[in-house]
Amino acid sequence: MPSDNHIKSAFSLIEKDESKVLGLTVGKHENVQPGTYIPRQDAQEVPKLSFSGATPNNKYVIVSLDIDAPFPSFGILGPILHWIQSDVKVTGTSSLEFDAPFVANYIGPAPPPGSSPHRYIFFLYEQPEDFNLKDHAPADGQKLANMSRMRYDLDAWAKEIKLGPLVAFNYFVSN
Protein backbone atom coordinates (compact mmCIF):
# COMPACT_ATOMS: atom_id res chain seq x y z
CA MET A 1 0.00 0.00 0.00
CA PRO A 2 1.49 3.38 -0.95
CA SER A 3 2.18 5.76 1.89
CA ASP A 4 -0.17 8.72 2.25
CA ASN A 5 1.72 11.37 4.21
CA HIS A 6 1.24 14.01 1.50
CA ILE A 7 -2.49 13.30 1.39
CA LYS A 8 -2.90 13.59 5.15
CA SER A 9 -0.87 16.79 5.36
CA ALA A 10 -2.86 18.36 2.48
CA PHE A 11 -6.21 17.89 4.20
CA SER A 12 -4.69 19.21 7.41
CA LEU A 13 -3.27 22.25 5.59
CA ILE A 14 -6.65 23.56 4.44
CA GLU A 15 -8.33 22.74 7.75
CA LYS A 16 -5.80 24.96 9.53
CA ASP A 17 -5.48 27.71 6.92
CA GLU A 18 -8.27 28.52 4.44
CA SER A 19 -5.90 30.78 2.49
CA LYS A 20 -4.20 27.58 1.27
CA VAL A 21 -7.29 26.40 -0.65
CA LEU A 22 -6.33 26.08 -4.31
CA GLY A 23 -8.65 27.94 -6.68
CA LEU A 24 -10.43 25.34 -8.79
CA THR A 25 -12.77 25.67 -11.76
CA VAL A 26 -14.09 22.35 -13.04
CA GLY A 27 -16.10 22.64 -16.25
CA LYS A 28 -18.89 25.11 -15.57
CA HIS A 29 -18.32 24.93 -11.80
CA GLU A 30 -16.33 27.98 -10.69
CA ASN A 31 -14.77 28.65 -7.31
CA VAL A 32 -15.11 25.02 -6.22
CA GLN A 33 -14.95 24.70 -2.45
CA PRO A 34 -13.33 21.63 -0.84
CA GLY A 35 -15.67 18.64 -1.02
CA THR A 36 -18.07 20.08 -3.63
CA TYR A 37 -19.90 17.45 -5.69
CA ILE A 38 -19.17 17.72 -9.44
CA PRO A 39 -20.98 15.40 -11.91
CA ARG A 40 -18.58 13.11 -13.76
CA GLN A 41 -19.50 14.52 -17.18
CA ASP A 42 -18.61 18.04 -16.01
CA ALA A 43 -15.07 17.08 -14.98
CA GLN A 44 -13.58 15.48 -18.08
CA GLU A 45 -11.54 18.50 -19.21
CA VAL A 46 -8.40 19.79 -17.49
CA PRO A 47 -9.51 22.04 -14.60
CA LYS A 48 -8.47 25.66 -14.36
CA LEU A 49 -6.48 26.46 -11.25
CA SER A 50 -5.49 29.63 -9.45
CA PHE A 51 -3.74 30.62 -6.26
CA SER A 52 -3.28 34.17 -5.04
CA GLY A 53 -0.38 33.12 -2.80
CA ALA A 54 1.75 31.89 -5.70
CA THR A 55 5.01 33.71 -6.42
CA PRO A 56 5.15 35.01 -10.01
CA ASN A 57 8.75 33.94 -10.72
CA ASN A 58 8.43 30.45 -9.27
CA LYS A 59 7.53 27.26 -11.10
CA TYR A 60 5.03 24.83 -9.65
CA VAL A 61 3.89 21.23 -10.05
CA ILE A 62 0.24 20.14 -9.99
CA VAL A 63 -0.60 16.59 -8.92
CA SER A 64 -4.10 15.10 -8.93
CA LEU A 65 -5.17 11.77 -7.44
CA ASP A 66 -8.34 9.75 -6.91
CA ILE A 67 -7.87 8.50 -3.35
CA ASP A 68 -10.96 6.26 -3.26
CA ALA A 69 -10.40 3.76 -6.09
CA PRO A 70 -12.04 1.46 -6.87
CA PHE A 71 -14.49 1.97 -3.98
CA PRO A 72 -14.10 4.26 -0.95
CA SER A 73 -14.58 1.27 1.36
CA PHE A 74 -12.16 -0.92 -0.64
CA GLY A 75 -9.25 1.15 -1.93
CA ILE A 76 -7.01 -1.68 -3.12
CA LEU A 77 -6.16 0.07 -6.43
CA GLY A 78 -5.75 3.55 -5.03
CA PRO A 79 -4.69 6.09 -5.09
CA ILE A 80 -4.97 6.48 -8.84
CA LEU A 81 -2.91 9.18 -10.48
CA HIS A 82 -5.09 11.53 -12.55
CA TRP A 83 -2.60 14.24 -13.53
CA ILE A 84 0.89 15.64 -13.08
CA GLN A 85 1.74 18.95 -14.72
CA SER A 86 5.12 20.60 -14.26
CA ASP A 87 6.42 24.04 -15.21
CA VAL A 88 3.28 25.77 -14.00
CA LYS A 89 3.55 29.55 -13.67
CA VAL A 90 1.25 32.15 -12.14
CA THR A 91 -0.14 35.04 -14.19
CA GLY A 92 -0.95 38.52 -12.92
CA THR A 93 -4.51 37.36 -12.21
CA SER A 94 -3.34 34.48 -9.97
CA SER A 95 -4.27 31.96 -12.69
CA LEU A 96 -1.93 29.03 -13.04
CA GLU A 97 -0.76 28.55 -16.62
CA PHE A 98 1.37 25.94 -18.33
CA ASP A 99 2.55 25.21 -21.83
CA ALA A 100 5.06 22.46 -21.10
CA PRO A 101 4.15 18.86 -21.86
CA PHE A 102 2.57 16.92 -19.00
CA VAL A 103 4.29 14.37 -16.81
CA ALA A 104 0.99 12.44 -16.66
CA ASN A 105 -1.93 13.49 -18.87
CA TYR A 106 -5.17 14.51 -17.16
CA ILE A 107 -7.92 11.92 -16.94
CA GLY A 108 -11.36 12.79 -15.60
CA PRO A 109 -13.38 10.98 -12.94
CA ALA A 110 -14.52 7.45 -13.75
CA PRO A 111 -15.60 5.59 -10.60
CA PRO A 112 -17.06 2.14 -11.33
CA PRO A 113 -20.84 1.71 -11.44
CA GLY A 114 -22.34 1.43 -7.98
CA SER A 115 -19.53 3.27 -6.26
CA SER A 116 -20.23 6.11 -3.88
CA PRO A 117 -18.48 9.39 -4.83
CA HIS A 118 -14.70 9.45 -5.00
CA ARG A 119 -12.49 12.31 -3.80
CA TYR A 120 -10.39 13.90 -6.56
CA ILE A 121 -7.61 15.85 -4.93
CA PHE A 122 -5.33 18.56 -6.37
CA PHE A 123 -1.97 19.52 -4.90
CA LEU A 124 0.11 22.56 -5.83
CA TYR A 125 3.81 22.24 -4.99
CA GLU A 126 6.86 24.35 -5.56
CA GLN A 127 8.83 22.72 -8.36
CA PRO A 128 12.42 21.74 -7.56
CA GLU A 129 14.92 23.91 -9.45
CA ASP A 130 16.67 20.90 -10.97
CA PHE A 131 13.44 19.16 -12.09
CA ASN A 132 13.86 17.80 -15.62
CA LEU A 133 10.58 16.96 -17.34
CA LYS A 134 12.29 14.52 -19.74
CA ASP A 135 13.34 12.36 -16.78
CA HIS A 136 9.73 11.82 -15.70
CA ALA A 137 7.34 12.23 -18.65
CA PRO A 138 6.53 9.47 -21.13
CA ALA A 139 8.64 9.72 -24.30
CA ASP A 140 7.32 11.79 -27.21
CA GLY A 141 4.29 13.12 -25.31
CA GLN A 142 2.69 9.69 -24.99
CA LYS A 143 -0.17 9.34 -22.53
CA LEU A 144 0.66 7.60 -19.29
CA ALA A 145 -0.50 3.98 -19.21
CA ASN A 146 -3.25 3.02 -16.75
CA MET A 147 -1.04 0.48 -14.97
CA SER A 148 1.40 3.28 -14.11
CA ARG A 149 -1.44 5.22 -12.47
CA MET A 150 -2.70 2.58 -10.02
CA ARG A 151 -1.51 2.49 -6.40
CA TYR A 152 0.40 5.69 -7.10
CA ASP A 153 2.91 6.50 -4.36
CA LEU A 154 3.10 10.29 -4.28
CA ASP A 155 5.32 10.20 -1.20
CA ALA A 156 7.94 8.11 -3.03
CA TRP A 157 7.83 10.29 -6.16
CA ALA A 158 8.06 13.46 -4.07
CA LYS A 159 11.15 12.10 -2.33
CA GLU A 160 12.71 11.00 -5.63
CA ILE A 161 12.42 14.42 -7.27
CA LYS A 162 12.93 16.39 -4.03
CA LEU A 163 9.51 17.99 -4.45
CA GLY A 164 9.16 21.40 -2.85
CA PRO A 165 6.70 22.22 -0.10
CA LEU A 166 2.95 21.95 -0.55
CA VAL A 167 1.64 25.39 -1.41
CA ALA A 168 -2.11 24.82 -1.83
CA PHE A 169 -4.70 22.05 -2.03
CA ASN A 170 -8.33 21.43 -3.00
CA TYR A 171 -10.63 18.55 -3.88
CA PHE A 172 -14.04 17.69 -5.25
CA VAL A 173 -16.15 14.55 -5.14
CA SER A 174 -17.67 12.83 -8.15
CA ASN A 175 -19.30 9.63 -9.33
* CA 29 to chain centroid: 17
CATH number at residue 79: 3.90.280.10
Judge whether residue 3 has pLDDT over 80.
Answer: no
- Write out pLDDT tens, residues 23-76: 999 999 999 999 999 999 999 999 999 999 999 889 999 999 999 999 888 888
pLDDT over 90 percentage in the chain: 75
Please report which confidence band the pLDDT of residue 1 belongs to, taking 50, 70 and 90 as the band edges.
Answer: low
Give the residue numbers spanning the domain of 137. Answer: 5-174
Note the helical H segments in 17-171: 154-161
Q: How confident is the model at residue 81 (pLDDT cuts 50, 70, 90)?
A: very high
Question: How many structural domains comprise the chain?
Answer: 1
User: How many whole angstroms separate alpha carbon 139 and alpha carbon 99?
Assistant: 17
pTM score, whole prediction: 0.94
Beta strands 48-50 and 23-25 are: antiparallel
